[in-house]
């Protein structure tokens, strides 16, 4: 099989798509020639096959990253020089924005306009943000009296294994690469086997930007094979994982054998609370965005909407109208499309099985609740609203990861907080009220890593992102995102020696 193939998308854009494993700045075949086929979720047709890493390939990538970590071409760069490489990569991503957005729409099924206006800019912003930090992230001097001197150095951790999911292939890669490179680490990035194409294209740009060989290695491969090999590898010093809570727990167990430093960003079942004094139009707009954008495939999706009983009916009617107005299903390359297909047949079937379980457990389908193929094809699911939902139901407790929302009534603020916190997850939470005192009070009481007052799923590269409870460990983005990628070394000097 060739190492690249020419692809053409429905929007007419043509590019050379790399198909190999990116190790030591070269694209190579997998050791036994195994591949994974990427499928276009809109047409259900194969796009191309991409080499999939074996355990041996993971060994090679880790060896490359280990060697690069010690090599003066990377190790002796100043933070300013590392930052310059990252700025160059960000500029190259900007130059190739249309191609990257096209690949994302084709491989993941997200609307092209969203990939172009949100996902590609996020990569550029995150790289530039952490490029700027690369020469501003240093230690402290500590007063320990006149006879002694103590200071700290922030050192890179070493080889970082990074495992990303399929819902935001570009953004998730940038969130991980940005802080890791900023601090001087080297990386083996394992892509999600469902959506490898955009980041393999970025790999070409990484070489072009001038990063020394082995600093960034990028592997496509199955989670249980390549992912597990990376997590268990004795020469990997840190694992950063984004994905499901179940897999996150497995990663944590495997990482324990070599006591690896870990950060986990896992699932959620985030609540959105609407109080009686809320601006209903504002609440409806954000509530819709918070669950229906990205085909509902968002870990922070506000998938449980809790509405005060006095405005419940009015909110429900407005929400349904908003879905009908905004959630236009269709081809991701059609500029009117808001919602594309679910990423794979497996996800599509999983979402439909949750809809079935909702029906069986006695919830009412107030809208949607069925497959919605476009021109007879594609993994499309109609945006779905459940009412008459009880807290014990699976659709209230488990992460569906699709365009499905439960809308439930509450009577008092106390009850709303109790329902919001009645979950093993703790990623995001949204609160709609005009009363700032209430907003602050509720924000404090909610068990979540992020709270949005009068918005939902507002994310910014300058602001920490992450969860509590079973939604994760550690933070990405912002200054807080640097801490998981450096060790602090303390140096004690005895001045009286
Ligand atoms: P999903 O079920 O939505 O695909 P996962 O959490 O399983 O979510 O996948 C997220 C990422 O974790 C993907 O890159 C996947 O390949 C990887 N992965 C899956 N299983 C394992 C595992 N046992 N060890 C390491 N990585 C894994």
Q: What is the 3-state secondary structure (H, E, C) of 69-84?
A: HHCHHHHCCCHHHHHH
Round to whole Å and give the CA distance between 467 and 439: 20
Q: Report the pLDDT averaged over residues 287-298.
A: 98
Round to whole Å and give the CA distance between 71 and 64: 10
Work out the percent of the chain whose per-residue pLDDT is above 70. Answer: 100
Does ligand 1 lie within 6 Å of residue 176's CB atom?
Answer: no
The bridge status of strand 404-410 relative to strand 428-432 is unpaired
Q: Which two tokens stand for residue 97?
A: 């924005």
Does ligand 1 lie within 6 Å of residue 172's CB atom?
Answer: no
CA–centroid distance, residue 164 to ligand 1 (Å): 8
Residue 14 has pLDDT above 80, yes or no: yes
Round to whole Å and give the CA distance between 312 and 287: 14
Work out the percent of the chain whose per-residue pLDDT is above 90. Answer: 99
The bridge status of strand 148-156 relative to strand 486-494 is antiparallel
Please choose from 167, 196, 224, 227 the residue to mutate so as to test ligand 1's pocket, defined by most ligand atoms within 8 A of CB: 227
Q: Report the pLDDT averaged over residues 357-371.
A: 98
Round to whole Å and give the CA distance between 447 and 467: 9
Does ligand 1 lie within 6 Å of residue 243's CB atom?
Answer: yes
Of residues 449, 402, 412, the one with CA closest to residue 430: 449
- For residue 283, give every residue at least 6 positions away whose Cβ sits within 8 Å of its Cβ, in sequence order, or none: 274, 315, 432, 454
pLDDT of residue 486: 98
Please choose from 193, 228, 247 the residue to mutate so as to test ligand 1's pocket, defined by most ligand atoms within 8 A of CB: 247
Residue whose CA is closest, atom 21 of ligand 1? Answer: 223
Does ligand 1 lie within 6 Å of residue 417's CB atom?
Answer: no
476 DSSP 8-state letter: B
Does ligand 1 lie within 6 Å of residue 399's CB atom?
Answer: no
Query: What is the average pLDDT score of the chain?
Result: 98
Round to whole Å and give the CA distance between 195 and 223: 13
The bridge status of strand 141-142 relative to strand 148-156 is antiparallel
CA–centroid distance, residue 12 to ligand 1 (Å): 33
Does ligand 1 lie within 6 Å of residue 110's CB atom?
Answer: no
Q: Which residues pair with 8 in a beta bridge?
A: 14
State the closest ligand 1 atom to the C-alpha of 250, by its place in the atom list counted from 1: 23
The residue with tokens 């399929």 is: 166
Please choose from 162, 163, 265, 401 the residue to mutate so as to test ligand 1's pocket, defined by most ligand atoms within 8 A of CB: 163
Round to whole Å and give the CA distance between 226 and 190: 7
Residue whose CA is closest, atom 24 of ligand 1? Answer: 228
pLDDT of residue 370: 98
Residue 127 has pLDDT above 90, yes or no: yes
The bridge status of strand 271-274 relative to strand 216-219 is unpaired
Does ligand 1 lie within 6 Å of residue 247's CB atom?
Answer: yes
Domain 271-458 is found in CATH 3.40.50.360: no
Q: Degrees (nearest 5) of the Cα angle 113, 240, 70?
A: 110
Please choose from 108, 239, 243, 350 the residue to mutate so as to test ligand 1's pocket, defined by most ligand atoms within 8 A of CB: 243
**Segments of the chain assigned to CATH 3.40.605.10:** 4-266+473-489
- For residue 194, give every residue at least 6 positions away whose Cβ sits within 8 Å of its Cβ, in sequence order, or none: 38, 108, 166, 343, 344
How many other CB atoms sit within 10 Å of the CB of residue 42? 24
Q: Could you read off the pLDDT of 69-90 as tens digits, one per residue?
A: 999 999 999 999 999 999 999 9
71, with CB counted inside 10 A (0-12, 13-18, 19+), is middle
Residue whose CA is closest, atom 11 of ligand 1? Answer: 165
CATH superfamily of 4-266+473-489: Aldehyde Dehydrogenase; Chain A, domain 1 (3.40.605.10)
Residue whose CA is closest, atom 4 of ligand 1? Answer: 165
Q: Report the pLDDT averaged over residues 247-263.
A: 98
* Torsion of Cα atoms, 280 then 282 then 287 then 290, to 10°: -170
Q: Which two tokens stand for residue 273?
A: 């609370």
Q: Could you read off the pLDDT of 95-111 as tens digits, one per residue?
A: 999 999 999 999 999 99
Q: Give the 3-state DSSP-derived string for 13-31, with helices as H, strands as E and coil as C.
A: CEEEEECCEEECCEEECCC
Residue whose CA is closest, atom 2 of ligand 1? Answer: 244
pLDDT of residue 496: 83
Q: Report the pLDDT averaged over residues 231-243.
A: 98
CA–centroid distance, residue 49 to ligand 1 (Å): 19
Residue 298 has pLDDT above 90, yes or no: yes
Round to whole Å and give the CA distance between 169 and 172: 6
Residue 497 has pLDDT above 90, yes or no: no
In the residue annotation, 265 being an active-site residue is answered as: yes
The bridge status of strand 21-23 relative to strand 26-28 is antiparallel
CA–centroid distance, residue 374 to ligand 1 (Å): 29
pTM score above 0.95: yes
Question: 252: pLDDT confidence band, cut at 50, 70 and 90?
Answer: very high
**Segments of the chain assigned to CATH 3.40.309.10:** 271-458
pLDDT of residue 268: 98
Does ligand 1 lie within 6 Å of residue 193's CB atom?
Answer: yes
Q: Could you read off the pLDDT of 409-436 as tens digits, one per residue?
A: 999 999 999 999 999 999 999 999 999 9
Continuous segment of H or E residues that includes residue 219 = strand 216-219
Round to whole Å and give the CA distance between 415 and 420: 8
Continuous segment of H or E residues that includes residue 253 = helix 245-256
The residue with tokens 């509720």 is: 442
Does ligand 1 lie within 6 Å of residue 227's CB atom?
Answer: yes
Q: Could you read off the pLDDT of 200-213 as tens digits, one per residue?
A: 999 999 999 999 99
Q: Report the pLDDT averaged over residues 393-419.
A: 98
Q: Which residues pair with 473 in a beta bridge?
A: 264
CA–centroid distance, residue 443 to ligand 1 (Å): 32
298 DSSP 8-state letter: -
pLDDT of residue 219: 98
Q: Catalytic: which of 122, 265, 399, 476? A: 265
Residue 110 and residue 100 in contact, taking contact as beta carbons nearer than 8 Å: no
Residue 403 has pLDDT above 90, yes or no: yes
């Amino acid at each position: 099989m060739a190492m690249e193939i020419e692809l053409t998308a429905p929007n007419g854009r043509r590019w050379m798509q790399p198909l190999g494993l990116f190790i030591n700045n070269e694209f190579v075949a997998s050791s036994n020639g195994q591949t994974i086929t990427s499928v276009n979720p809109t047409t259900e047709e194969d796009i191309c096959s991409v080499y999939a890493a074996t355990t041996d390939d993971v060994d090679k990538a880790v060896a490359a990253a280990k060697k690069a970590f010690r090599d003066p071409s990377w190790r002796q760069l100043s933070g300013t020089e590392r930052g310059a490489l990252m700025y160059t990569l960000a500029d190259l991503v900007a130059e190739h924005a249309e191609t990257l957005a096209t690949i994302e729409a084709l491989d993941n099924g997200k609307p092209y306009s969203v990939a172009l206006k949100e996902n590609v800019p996020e990569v550029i912003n995150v790289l530039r943000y952490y490029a700027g930090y690369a020469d501003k992230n240093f230690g402290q001097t500590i007063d320990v009296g006149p006879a002694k001197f103590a200071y700290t150095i922030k050192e890179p951790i070493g080889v970082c294994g990074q495992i990303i999911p399929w819902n935001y292939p570009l953004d998730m890669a940038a969130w991980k690469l940005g802080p890791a490179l900023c601090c001087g680490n080297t990386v083996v990035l394992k892509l999600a086997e469902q959506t490898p194409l955009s980041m393999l294209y970025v790999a070409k740009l990484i070489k072009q930007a001038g990063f020394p060989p082995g600093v960034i290695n990028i592997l496509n491969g199955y989670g249980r094979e390549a992912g597990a090999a990376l997590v268990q590898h004795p020469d990997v010093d840190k694992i950063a994982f984004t994905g499901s809570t179940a897999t996150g727990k497995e990663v944590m167990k495997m990482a324990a054998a070599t006591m690896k430093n870990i950060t986990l960003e896992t699932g959620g079942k985030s609540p959105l609370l609407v109080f009686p004094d809320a601006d209903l139009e504002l609440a409806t707009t954000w509530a819709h965005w918070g669950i229906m954008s990205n085909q509902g495939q968002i870990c922070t999706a506000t998938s449980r909407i809790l509405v005060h009983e006095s405005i419940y009916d009015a909110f429900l009617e407005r929400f349904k109208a908003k879905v009908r107005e905004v959630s236009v299903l269709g081809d991701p390359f059609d500029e009117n499309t808001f919602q594309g297909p679910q990423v794979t047949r497996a996800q599509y079937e999983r979402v439909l099985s949750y809809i079935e379980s909702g029906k069986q457990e006695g919830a009412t389908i107030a809208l949607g609740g069925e497959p919605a193929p476009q021109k007879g094809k594609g993994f499309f699911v109609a945006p779905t609203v459940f009412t008459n939902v009880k807290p014990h139901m699976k659709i209230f407790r488990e992460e569906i990861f699709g365009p499905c929302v439960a809308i439930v009534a509450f009577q008092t603020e106390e009850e709303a907080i109790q329902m919001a916190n009645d979950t093993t997850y703790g990623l995001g939470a949204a609160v709609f009220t005009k009363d700032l005192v209430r907003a602050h009070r509720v924000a404090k009481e909610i068990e979540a890593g992020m709270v949005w007052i009068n918005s939902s799923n507002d994310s910014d590269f300058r602001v920490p992102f992450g969860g509590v409870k079973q939604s994760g460990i550690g933070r990405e983005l912002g200054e807080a995102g640097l801490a998981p990628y450096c060790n602090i070394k303390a140096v004690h000097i005895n001045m009286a020696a």
